[in-house]
């Protein structure tokens, strides 16, 4: 027999920056915690993906963590500079936030699947089933590391790891590490690892160094480009792929040490390393794939949100609403996959979903 579903206006899935912002605004715009909305988060503690970041990613080496609405990171954790690991500071900040605004976060609760039952969405989790009138999905990307396929990958006898698996450079000492990828994670890890051991760097394209300073205008134009893609139904691509690589003092120093010399992508993986199309070979001990993440959306598969091109067409003020289905919003996705974007998207999604639900209730 099917379990009785708990009725609720809105289910928010995920309690990272995007889910917490959405929850804050759902509450502020009038939904009551529990019967009005719940937040289901599969992590054991607060912090979203930040609780899993490597220890050397500190408040001074992150790109910048934007405050959640109504609360200041600096005030809660005491400082936003220095060598405090983001993996400690952000969970502390989010824990305080959830308490302060009495957000109904349930954890650890994993949503396995969401189905469309016509008059409601059936949200199945390992802690029960919800019948929701609206859904704000904020599940991030951390649990979906992306590694491209190359011939020979199963033959390699060394170690393959992804950004997600990196803890510290020390554990790689004495090994030749091949860093793959042209994004911010790749250059940050390359800088750290090259200080303790031999590294080689490969990227598909020439790295896009950004000499000029990062301005709000540059940020806005990058977000606008990704937003345009999802409005057209294209897969989003990452915001940093259009902002370029910042040349921080650490990166400049690494360039001066000569470790930022990049080789083109290899064509296959061998038992002991990699080989290029021209036949040249390189033996390495570790292949570190800094090749990014994809959105964690498997639990939404029955909703068939994807179009033929593999993208999800979004609409609404900040492109968070699934086109043709005002019950469903994606936040922290595409143009809002940053802490500031997640904030704004949470607000827009909360406003639009509440307006939709009240209009729909009035028409019944």
Residues making contact with ligand FAD (CB under 6 A): 13-19, 40-43, 48-49, 53, 62-66, 110-111, 138-140, 142-143, 185, 293, 296, 299, 332, 337-339, 342
H helix intervals, 15-173: 17-28, 73-77, 86-100
Cβ nearer to ligand FAD, comparing 142 with 289: 142
- Smallest distance, ligand FAD to C-beta of residue 278, A: 33
- Smallest distance, ligand FAD to C-beta of residue 284, A: 23
Distance separating alpha carbons of residues 218 and 245, to the nearest angstrom: 12
- Smallest distance, ligand FAD to C-beta of residue 152, A: 27
- Smallest distance, ligand FAD to C-beta of residue 207, A: 17
- Smallest distance, ligand FAD to C-beta of residue 31, A: 19
CA distances from 293 to 44, 79, 143, 337 (A): 21, 29, 8, 11
Q: Which of 246, 216, 181, 230 is nearest to 332 (CA)?
A: 230
CA distances from 309 to 207, 234, 327 (A): 27, 7, 23
- Smallest distance, ligand FAD to C-beta of residue 324, A: 23
Cβ nearer to ligand FAD, comparing 34 with 283: 34
Cβ nearer to ligand FAD, comparing 281 with 301: 301
Cβ nearer to ligand FAD, comparing 299 with 329: 299
Distance separating alpha carbons of residues 357 and 234, to the nearest angstrom: 28
Cβ nearer to ligand FAD, comparing 42 with 329: 42
What are phi and psi for residue 160, nearest 5 degrees? Answer: -110, 130
Strand order in the sheet with 273-275: 268-269, 273-275, 281-283
Contacts of 358 (CB under 8 A, 6+ apart): none
Cβ nearer to ligand FAD, comparing 42 with 262: 42
- Smallest distance, ligand FAD to C-beta of residue 291, A: 11
Two tokens, residue 202: 């490969």
Two tokens, residue 260: 């930022």
The answer to whether the Cα torsion of 318, 322, 324, 327 is positive or negative is negative
Cβ nearer to ligand FAD, comparing 139 with 313: 139
């Amino acid at each position: 027999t099917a379990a009785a579903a708990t009725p609720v206006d809105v289910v928010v899935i995920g309690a990272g920056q995007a889910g917490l912002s959405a929850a804050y605004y759902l509450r502020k715009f009038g939904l009551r915690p529990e019967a009005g909305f719940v937040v289901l988060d599969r992590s054991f503690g607060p912090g979203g993906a930040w609780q899993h970041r490597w220890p050397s990613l500190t408040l001074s080496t992150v790109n910048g963590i934007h405050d959640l609405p109504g609360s200041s990171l600096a005030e809660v954790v005491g400082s936003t500079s220095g060598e405090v690991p983001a993996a400690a500071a952000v969970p502390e900040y989010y824990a305080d936030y959830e308490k302060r605004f009495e957000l109904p976060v349930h954890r650890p609760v994993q949503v396995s699947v969401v189905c469309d039952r016509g008059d409601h969405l059936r949200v199945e989790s390992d802690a029960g089933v919800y019948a929701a009138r609206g859904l704000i999905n904020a599940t991030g990307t951390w649990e979906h590391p992306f590694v491209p396929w190359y011939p020979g990958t199963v033959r390699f006898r060394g170690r393959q790891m992804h950004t997600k698996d990196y803890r510290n450079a020390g554990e790689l000492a004495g090994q030749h590490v091949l860093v793959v990828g042209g994004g911010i994670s790749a250059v940050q890890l390359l800088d750290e690892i090259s200080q303790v051991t031999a590294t080689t760097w490969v990227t598909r394209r020439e790295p896009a160094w950004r000499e000029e300073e990062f301005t709000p205008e540059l940020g806005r134009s990058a977000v606008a480009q990704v937003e345009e893609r999802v409005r057209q139904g294209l897969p989003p691509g990452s915001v940093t792929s259009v902002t370029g690589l910042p040349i921080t003092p650490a990166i400049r120093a690494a360039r001066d040490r000569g470790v930022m010399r990049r080789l083109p992508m290899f064509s296959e993986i061998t038992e002991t390393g990699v080989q290029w199309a021209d036949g040249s070979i390189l033996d390495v001990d570790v292949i570190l794939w800094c090749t990014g993440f994809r959105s964690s959306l498997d639990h939404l598969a029955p909703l068939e949100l994807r179009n033929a091109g593999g993208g999800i067409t979004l609409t609404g003020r900040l492109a968070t609403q699934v086109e043709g289905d005002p019950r469903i919003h994606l936040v922290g996705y595409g143009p809002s996959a940053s802490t500031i974007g997640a904030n704004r998207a949470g607000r827009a999604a909360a406003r639009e979903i509440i307006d939709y639900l009240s209009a729909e209730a009035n028409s019944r």
